[in-house]
Amino acid sequence: MFKITFIGLGNMGLPMAQNLINAGNQVKVYNRSIEKAKNLTGNFKVCSSIKEACTGQEIVITMLSEDDILYQICDGDDGLLNNMESEAIHISMSTISPDTSRDLYKKHQQKKQHYLSSPVFGRPNAAADAKLFICTSGDDAIKQKVKPILELMGQAVYDFGTDAGAANVVKLTGNFMIMASMETMAEAFTLAEKQGLNREQVANFFGETVFNAPIYKNYGSLIAKKQYQPVGFKASLGFKDARLASKMALDAEMPAPLLNLVYNRLLSALANGNKDSDWVEGISGGVSKDAGI
């Protein structure tokens, strides 16, 4: 059993923390709006400052919505860097830029602490079922040490080497691929619809045959039905990922026209006041609007 602090009790963080509590770890939690902790059950401690949350803990897990918020949690007098114990490990599970990971890796090192990137694939129900896919990168000894913890949250852990940013590259690349798949399906089903076919029948066919992957089945059904409620993942968060992926492409000197395309779909959603709509609507709704349906 480990002494673990969990910071960030959003849609994803909450079930992940719950799984750690259920397994009998000594868990402290911290969240800006601390009422979120009321949704947790079992034996855990709610902290009102980061200092309190970190003191005496071996592991600190962060699951936050963006780079800036992670920096706010890390920096400052009450931040992780100044308050984590020596040799303690920061497991960073948020979807952030690889450069942020590379930077925090160094800063923790200077404080004789450790930083491990461990972003995840999966939606809240997969988090609740401990079925996440977890990508990890950083120091091998640290990976070895925290593996039992990650396995409490995911069905498999994939190791992408020692570059702290590598796992983030995989995560952002994957989110680009998901958005590109949405554009693919939206154009495909719209084309079929405008040629007189039934979108759902077409989506079902592809989901059962050549494209029988969860992404195509699940998003395919939403796109075919133009069902954009309830909101699973906000357009603003999808755009954030497209923006971070574009930054990676710029840094790597790589033209990526399909990335530009989905970036623009979501940027248009934001520009039209729909940042809180679902990212599926941002992309699929854009294709529909262009096609006049």
Q: Which 161-220 residues touch its own copies, going by CB under 8 A?
A: 161, 163, 165-166, 169-170, 173-174, 176-178, 180-181, 183-185, 187-188, 190-192, 194-197, 201-202, 205-206, 209-216
Q: Closer to its own copies at the Cβ: 7 or 248?
A: 248
Q: Is 34 in the site for its own copies (CB under 8 A)?
A: no
Q: Is 254 in the site for its own copies (CB under 8 A)?
A: yes
Q: Minimum CB separation from its own copies for residue 226, in Å?
A: 15
Rounded Cα–Cα distance for residues 174 and 164 (Å): 17
Q: Where are the alpha helices (DSSP H) in the chain?
A: 13-22, 50-54, 67-74, 80-83, 98-110, 124-128, 140-151, 166-194, 199-208, 214-225, 235-251, 257-271, 279-280, 286-291
Site string for its own copies, 62-81 (x = CB under 8 A): --------------------
Q: Minimum CB separation from its own copies for residue 293, in Å?
A: 8
Active-site position among 171, 194, 240, 275: 171
Identify the residue among 248, 279, 280, 282 touching its own copies (CB under 8 A).
248
Rounded Cα–Cα distance for residues 121 and 139 (Å): 21
Catalytic: 217?
A: no
Q: Minimum CB separation from its own copies for residue 90, in Å?
A: 22
Q: Is 224 in the site for its own copies (CB under 8 A)?
A: no
Q: Which residue has the tokens 């079992």?
A: 42
Q: Closer to its own copies at the Cβ: 87 or 292?
A: 292
Q: Minimum CB separation from its own copies for residue 18, in Å?
A: 23
Q: Is 9 helix (H, G, I), strand (E, B) or coil?
A: coil
Q: What kind and span of H or E run contains 97?
A: none
Q: In what order do the strands lie in the sheet with 59-62?
A: 44-46, 26-30, 3-7, 59-62, 89-92, 114-117
Q: Closer to its own copies at the Cβ: 15 or 174?
A: 174
CB 30 within 8 A of CB 50: yes
Instruction: Select from 287, 247, 99, 279 the least CA-distant residue to 178.
Output: 279
Rounded Cα–Cα distance for residues 6 and 135 (Å): 18
Site for its own copies in 122-161 (CB under 8 A): 133, 135, 156, 158, 160-161
Rounded Cα–Cα distance for residues 148 and 116 (Å): 14
Q: Closer to its own copies at the Cβ: 35 or 257?
A: 257
Q: Minimum CB separation from its own copies for residue 36, in Å?
A: 27
CB 113 within 8 A of CB 3: no
Q: How many residues bind its own copies (CB under 8 A)?
A: 74
Q: Is 267 in the site for its own copies (CB under 8 A)?
A: yes
Q: Closer to its own copies at the Cβ: 112 or 140?
A: 140
Catalytic residues: 171
